[in-house]
Homo-oligomer: A and B are copies of this chain.
């Protein structure tokens, strides 16, 4: 067998972190810092994860075809208008997100590509 030669650091990393090559479409960040958490953001995060799993959309080790990643994050300055939810690369910041809003955000925005305007309070990179 011929020597395949040294692999690059990039190629080695791609084997260690398959998400590097994955066509991930979006990341949903849910603030779980003090004020948002006091307003139920942990339940919002869990609702997103559960419903995205149900829809086959959540990227996990068990579902590496999922198009959406969902994760907690620190305070974004929406402390008085939380829970805050950010969707990237779209750059959409939502406020006042409740568990009841999660199906609409998934259906309209994450599946349909159209943000839920009544909850949008900031746009990054626009």
Contact = CB atoms under 8 A, between A and B. Distances in A.
Interface of A: 10, 13-14, 16-20, 24, 27, 29, 59, 69, 71-81, 86, 88-89, 91, 95-96, 121-122, 124-125
Contacts of A96: 13
Nearest to A16: B80
Contacts of A81: 13, 16-17
A59 B77 contact: yes
A124 B27 CA distance: 9
B124 A24 contact: yes
A18 to B, nearest CB: 8
A17 B124 contact: no
A89 B124 contact: yes
A17 B95 contact: yes
